[in-house]
């Protein structure tokens, strides 16, 4: 288990992972900013080189903007490697990283998880802007790694790239391309006017009302186009979902969410007031499967579609956070799942009695949904999760037992998964 490899001594073996890399984003950002400032100085000091300074400055500025609004930072492919979490540092080993390279834990300021096809990437942001990326197989392993590095549940998020606005409109991509064809020469002309005026009324003459109106309209339309084709970012945390756009963001607390459902384009958060917040991960015509049966029909092909993998990872994360919130509210009601020194037979009888009264679980104040939440919440002790599964084994609704088995399939802990599957079949170990 991963928990036996964290805070390991310096001579402990490395934990293998699917990929590891170190991104020098801080250094790249500083170099891009230096290029922008240098080109600006050249354009002001040497007007005859203004055009070349403009081209170089725009390249540096575009690089800065792309880094600022990049939705995900982990590269699509990484070489296999290993890591070791020590009390004061994180040791890395992979191609492209110096052997034995270590990152002090004191430099780590933020950690999150980015889902990829059949894996999860743990991203760590350092004080200097650099990034460390580690790719592991299971979300539970990613959670455990963040726990070991000091990023508890309250500081942990999952970040996922959403589809841009143009993709949600029929023919939206074509409209955006046409707008770009028209706006690019307009933008070049507008910037040239501004540079000409900044260089003391150059060859384009003094500004006029018409020129200023043209420039303002061009910049406004360009800002709209950039925002329309820029992918949004969904950050799923402990208390809610934050949807970030190019400018601004929207926070949706779980207290306002009544349900989360699959859609043809991604997910939708159903709010208690009847409205919904869409989280599209693919274009409008994607037609992603919306039921478990449709996904099972796809079989292994389901994992070949990145948007489908991303949607399911988002769904699981949101449901897990909402489940943990509900379980936390149960408080002392979960004591009914503890053994309290009873014999094995008395303990099984007590759990079976929870399911009396037609599955209402009224005596202990626990509902069927409460027990399902307990089974799937990794913050609950394994003994209580197994007990909840055993209590559900006598539920008259076969769909409930099937749901327990589906939850167990997502566990990385093989031993716990086997215990849950046995318990829901009426075998309490």
* Assigned domain for 43 exists: yes
CB half-sphere exposure, 48, CA atoms < 13 A: 0
- Count of domains observed in the chain: 4
107 sits in which H/E element? none
The reply to whether 200 falls in a domain is yes
- Three-state SS across 156-208? CEEEEECCCHHHHCCCHHHHHHHHHHHHHHHHHHHHHHHHHHHCCCCCCCCCC
Q: Which residues lie below 8 Å from residue 51, measured CB to CB, with a gap of 6+?
A: none
Q: Give the tokens for residue 244.
A: 């970030």
CA–CA distance, 343 with 349 (Å, rounded to integer): 10
Q: Average pLDDT of 77-104?
A: 82
Q: Does residue 354 form part of some domain?
A: yes
> How do 119-126 and 131-136 pair as beta strands?
antiparallel
Six-digit token string for 409: 């399939």
**DSSP per-residue string spanning 279-344:** EE-S-TT-----SHHHHHHHGGGGGG-HHHHHHHHHHHHHHHHHHHHHHHHHGGGGGGGS-TT--H
Identify the residue with better confidence: 364 or 368: 368
- pLDDT given for residue 304 in this prediction: 66
| Cα gap 144→276, rounded to integer Å | 32
Q: Which of 229, 246, 266 is the last residue of a domain?
A: 229
| C-alpha–C-alpha distance, residues 347 and 343, integer Å | 6
246 lies in the same domain as 382: no
Does residue 398 lie in a domain region?
yes
Which CATH number goes with the domain that contains 147?
2.30.29
* Structure confidence at residue 125 (pLDDT): 84
223 with 292, same domain: the answer is no
Both tokens of 3, joined, read 């928990």
Q: Do residues 296 and 354 share a domain?
A: no
**Which residues are CB-contacts of 279 (< 8 A; sequence separation ≥ 6)?**
162, 234, 241, 243, 266, 267, 268, 269, 314
Q: What percent of the chain has pLDDT over 70?
A: 83
Residues 284 and 419 occupy one common structural domain: no
Between 51 and 109, the more confident residue is: 109
pLDDT in tens, 160-196: 888 888 888 888 888 888 888 888 777 777 777 776 6
Q: Does 134 lie in the same domain as 21?
A: yes
Cβ atoms of 93 and 99 within 8 Å: the answer is yes
329 is written with which tokens? 């509210």
Mean pLDDT of the chain: 79
Same-domain status, 141 and 174: no
Work out the angle at residue 296's Cα, subtended by the Cα atoms of residues 292 and 298, and round it to the nearest 5 degrees.
Answer: 120
Least confident of 2-16, 71-85, 217-231: 2-16
The answer as to whether 192 is a domain residue is yes
pLDDT at 327 (0 to 100): 82
In this predicted structure, what is the pLDDT of residue 4?
Answer: 39
Same domain for 104 and 27: yes
- Is the pLDDT higher at 272 or at 397? 272
Q: Which two tokens stand for residue 382?
A: 């394994």
pLDDT of 415 above 70: yes
Strand partners, 423: none
Lookup result for tokens 């749901």: 403
Query: What value, to the nearest 5°, has the Cα angle with vertex 336 and ends 335 and 341?
Result: 80
3-state secondary structure of 111: strand
Domain that holds residue 258: 233-304
For residues 43 and 175, state if they share a domain.
no
Sequential DSSP letters for 202-237: -TT-S--HHHHHHHHHHHHHHHHHHHHHSPPEEEE-
Q: Check residue 366 and give its pLDDT.
A: 78
Decide: 325 and 369 in contact? Cβ < 8 Å.
no
pLDDT of residue 298: 73
Q: How far is CA 420 from the centre of its chain?
A: 28
- Per-residue model confidence (pLDDT) at position 207: 67
Over the stretch 290-345, which tens digit does the pLDDT of each residue have? Answer: 887 777 777 766 666 778 878 888 888 888 888 888 887 887 788 888 888 888 88
Lowest mean pLDDT among 6-20, 64-78, 145-159, 399-413: 64-78
Asked, for residue 157, whether it belongs to a domain, the answer is no
Do the Cβ atoms of 64 and 58 come closer than 8 Å? no
Determine the average pLDDT of the residues in 200-227.
73
pLDDT at residue 3 greater than cutoff 70: no
| Average pLDDT for 396-421 | 83
CA distance readout (Å), 128 to 30, 83, 124, 397:
10, 21, 12, 55
- Host H or E run for residue 30: helix 25-45
Domain co-membership, 396 together with 372: yes
Phi, psi angles (nearest 5°) of residue 394:
-100, 10
Q: Which of 260, 280, 304 is the last residue of a domain?
A: 304
Please give the pLDDT value at position 267: 92
* pLDDT band per the 50, 70, 90 thresholds, residue 252: very high
pLDDT (average), residues 17-32: 82
- Give the residue with greater pLDDT, 65 vs 15: 15
Q: How confident is the model at residue 205 (pLDDT cuts 50, 70, 90)?
A: low
Looking at the structure, tell me whether residues 6 and 147 fall in a common domain: yes
**pLDDT at 243 exceeding the cut of 60:** yes
Please list, in sequence order, all residues whose beta carbon lies within 8 angstroms of the beta carbon of residue 172, skipping any fewer than 6 positions away: 165, 166, 284
* Final residue belonging to a domain, choices 229, 246, 270: 229
* 326 located within any domain: no
* Token pair recorded at residue 176: 């955006």
232, two tokens: 């949004």
In a domain, 239, yes or no: yes
Same domain, 9 and 143: yes
Residues 222, 237, single domain; the answer is no
């Amino acid at each position: 288990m991963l928990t036996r490899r964290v805070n390991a001594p310096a001579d402990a073996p490395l934990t293998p992972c699917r990929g590891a890399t170190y991104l020098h984003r801080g250094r790249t950002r500083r170099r891009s900013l230096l290029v922008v400032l240098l080109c600006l100085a050249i354009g002001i000091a040497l007007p005859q080189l203004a055009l070349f300074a403009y081209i170089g400055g725009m390249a540096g500025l575009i690089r800065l903007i792309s880094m600022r609004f990049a939705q995900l930072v982990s590269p699509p492919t990484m070489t296999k490697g290993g890591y070791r979490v020590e009390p004061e540092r994180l040791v890395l080993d992979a191609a492209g990283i110096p052997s034995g390279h270590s990152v002090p834990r004191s430099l780590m300021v933020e950690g999150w998880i980015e889902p990829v096809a059949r894996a999860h990437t743990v991203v760590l942001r350092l004080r200097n802007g650099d990034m460390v990326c580690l790719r592991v197989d299971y979300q539970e392993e990613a959670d455990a790694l963040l726990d070991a590095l000091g990023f508890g549940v309250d500081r942990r998020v999952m970040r996922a790239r959403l589809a841009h606005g143009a993709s949600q409109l029929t023919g939206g991509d074509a409209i955006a391309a046409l707008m770009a064809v028209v706006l690019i020469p307009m933008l070049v002309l507008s910037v040239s006017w501004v540079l000409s005026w900044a260089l003391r009324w150059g060859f384009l003459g003094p500004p006029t009302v018409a020129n200023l109106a043209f420039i303002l309209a061009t910049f406004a339309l360009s800002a709209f186009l950039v925002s329309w084709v820029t992918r949004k970012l969904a950050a799923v945390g402990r208390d809610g979902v934050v949807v970030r756009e190019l400018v601004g963001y929207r926070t949706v607390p779980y207290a306002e969410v009544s349900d989360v459902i699959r859609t043809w384009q991604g997910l939708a958060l159903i709010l208690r007031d009847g409205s919904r917040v869409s989280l599209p991960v693919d274009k409008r015509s994607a037609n992603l499967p919306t039921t478990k049966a449709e996904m099972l029909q796809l079989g292994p092909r389901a994992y070949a579609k990145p948007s489908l993998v991303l949607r399911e990872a988002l769904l699981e994360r949101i449901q897990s956070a909402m489940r943990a919130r509900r379980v936390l509210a149960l408080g002392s009601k979960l004591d009914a799942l503890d053994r309290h020194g009873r014999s094995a037979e008395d303990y099984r009888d007590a759990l079976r009695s929870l399911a009396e009264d037609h599955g209402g679980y009224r005596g202990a104040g626990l509902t069927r949904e409460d027990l399902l939440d307990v089974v799937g919440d990794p913050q609950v002790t394994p003994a209580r999760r197994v007990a909840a599964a055993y209590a559900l084994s006598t539920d008259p609704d076969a769909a409930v037992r099937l749901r327990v088995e589906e939850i167990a399939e997502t566990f990385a802990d093989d031993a716990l998964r086997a215990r849950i599957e046995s318990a829901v079949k009426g075998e309490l170990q």
